[in-house]
């Protein structure tokens, strides 16, 4: 039985070597929920620096119509 309060810490995907770019909306979809909102870093496991970078990339992709603002 699992112990309460003991969870495995999520690792930032960007720190491990993954790349995210506004020109590739397929990878950005991982960080957006079904309503089109940017998912928080508590859920994704990103560090603060990379969460700011990812949100900037999502906003750029939305501005040039690669991603929708809402679903």
> Quick one: pLDDT at residue 4?
73
Please report which confidence band the pLDDT of residue 11 belongs to, taking 50, 70 and 90 as the band edges: confident
- In this structure, what token pair is assigned to residue 53? 């970078």
3-state secondary structure labels for all residues of the chain: CCCCCCCCCCCCCCCCCCCCCCCCHHHHHHHECCCCCECCHHHHCCCHHHHHHHHHHHHHHHHCCCCCCCC
Segment 13-26, tens digit of pLDDT:
899 998 999 999 99
Segment 38-59, tens digit of pLDDT:
999 999 999 999 999 999 999 9
Q: List the domains of the chain with CATH numbers.
A: 10-71 (4.10.640.10)
Give the Cα separation of 38 and 58 in Å (integer).
8
């Amino acid at each position: 039985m699992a112990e309460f309060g003991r969870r495995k810490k999520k690792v930032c995907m960007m720190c491990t070597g993954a790349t995210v770019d506004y020109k590739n909306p397929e990878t950005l979809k991982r960080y957006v929920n079904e309503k089109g909102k940017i998912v928080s870093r508590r859920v994704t496991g990103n560090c603060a620096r990379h969460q700011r970078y990812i949100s900037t990339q999502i906003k750029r992709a939305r501005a040039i119509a690669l991603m929708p603002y809402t679903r």
